[in-house]
Structure formats: structure tokens, C-alpha cells
Amino acid sequence: MRAVIDRLSGAVAAVASWFFIAIVAISALEVGLRYGFQSPTIWVHELSVALAAAAFTLGGPIVHRQRRHIAITFVLERISTRARRRLAVVNSVLTLVFLALLCWAAGEQALQALDSMERSGTATNWPTPVVLKCLLSVCAAWMLLQTLVQLATDIRSSSKP
């Protein structure tokens, strides 16, 4: 299971990183159209925000897999390896609780957005909220699976002397 999640994370990271290139490209297009041709767009800002939100949302599971989230290393550096391993188990359990609640809440929001086909309310009025709320729900579930895998690893590791 870990190998599947790792491969999926790597593939998604490769795709999500291109979102930022797309943001730069369409922003440059907007600047050119606005100042070069006095013909601004109504869609570039909304698409840029949606792409950035999607990239950051997809980045959560990627960073979580690598255990690169912010940590209080000041504390971790001052305790024994065994205590650090036990704290990793506690951290994984707390993360599971948080992610389970996030999955539930994000799932509820995604279902409501899908039910009403929630729109952005802007000039383009795209269904951006539906896409982003569903994406958050999927990414939270993805992180929950990663945390289960990490918890198993942490439990095995914590029993070592």
C-alpha cells in the first residue's frame, strides 16, 4: 500500500508543480493583453487562484508523505531516540483524529457544493468551489491513508530499544 501511495504522490507532485508554471504564463498573458492591447481578461485572476489553491491542496499529501511539515525540532533534539519514536506514534494518532474530522467536514462541504453545483459568483461564475472542495476532501482522505501507513511504521519503530 505504501508503494502505491508513494507512486501516486510522486505523479501528483509532478503535475501540481506545473500549476505554478501555468499561473506565471497566464499572468504574463494578462499583463500583455491588458497593457499591450488594452484588453484585460475576466478569467485569469480566478483561474490563477484556483490553480494555486489546487496546487497547495495537492501539496499537503506530498509533504505529509515526506514528513516535511513544520516540526518543533527544538523539543525533538533534546529528547532520547526512544522518546522521539514514542512521540511519533502519539503524533500519528493525533493526526489521524484530525484528518478523520477533516475528511468528514470536507466531505460534507463537497457534497453540499455538488448538490447545489456551487459557483464562484464572479464574472466567469465557474464551479471552482465544487472542484476545490472535492479536491480537499480527496486530499484529506489521501493524507489519512498515509497517516495509517506511517502509524504502522511508527509503532514498529517505537518498540525498538
CA distance 36 to 88: 55
Report which of residues 51 and 77 the model is more confident about.
51
Cβ(39)–Cβ(33) below 8 Å: yes
Percent of all residues in the chain with a pLDDT value above 70, rounded to a whole number: 99
pLDDT higher than threshold 90 for residue 34: yes
pLDDT digits (tens, 9 = 90+) for 105-130: 999 999 999 999 999 999 999 999 99
pLDDT digits (tens, 9 = 90+) for 134-146: 999 999 999 999 8
pLDDT higher than threshold 90 for residue 81: no
Q: Chain centroid to CA 15: how far?
A: 13
